[in-house]
Structure formats: structure tokens, C-alpha cells
Amino acid sequence: MLVLSAGPGTLGVAPSFVVTREVAPGDLPADPATRLEAFADAQAEQMRDTLPAPVDVQRRRADIPGSAPELRLDWISNGIPIRQWITYANAPDGSMMIATGTAARADYDMAEPVFRAMLNGFRLT
């Protein structure tokens, strides 16, 4: 796991960028691209079900090399509007790489280019 964060933002929430790897569930399709899409869809449903409402989940293709599925979530945490950008990739060992940039919505536009630069500089080995 890699975790990077900045000082507190305008609402006291430090923008952060976290990269983790998860073991892929055994019931996913074998094709790597289809497998990744199914994993991202399952993650989106889980977030809709577990995060406090209202939760807005947008699903699209990432505009990064290798074009992976990504989610953008808007939700409220302890009264603070939060935005998360989550990108998924297949890791060489068969696990799933999940990169998550999180910031208060008020700080997100400032943090997003940094999140994207960090993700573009990240390499799986």
C-alpha cells in the first residue's frame, strides 16, 4: 500500500492518494479487460450500498494510458462533501490495483491534477 497526503484542505480534510492491491474474487471472468470491468462494477455497487446516502457514482473510462475503468464518487462524510477518484488496473500477479484520490469537494479541482500526475507516474512490477 502506498499512501500520500497533503496538509489539511480548506475544510480540514487532507487530500490523499492511496494505492492498494486486492485479491480478485474467484468468480470474475478470465479475460483481463472483462475481469477488470466486472470488478469495478462490483466495487461501484458496494459503495452505493455502504456509503452514507446520498452517493453519486459516475463510471467511465480513465483518460490515462492503458485506459482503465474509473469511478468518481461524491458523498458526505461527517457533514463534509467529499469527492473520490478511483481507478482500477490488473496487476501482473492477478490481483487488482486500486488507486484512490480523495479530497473535500471544495479542494478537489486543485488536487485532481496532482492525483493524475501521481497515477501516471506509478508503475506495477
**Per-residue pLDDT tens for 67-76?**
578 888 999 9
Strand partners, 83: 74, 103
Nine cell digits for residue 71: 469511478
Helices H / strands E in the chain, number of each: 2, 6
**Per-residue pLDDT tens for 81-106?**
999 999 888 888 888 888 899 999 99
Considering the entire predicted model, what is its pTM?
Answer: 0.82
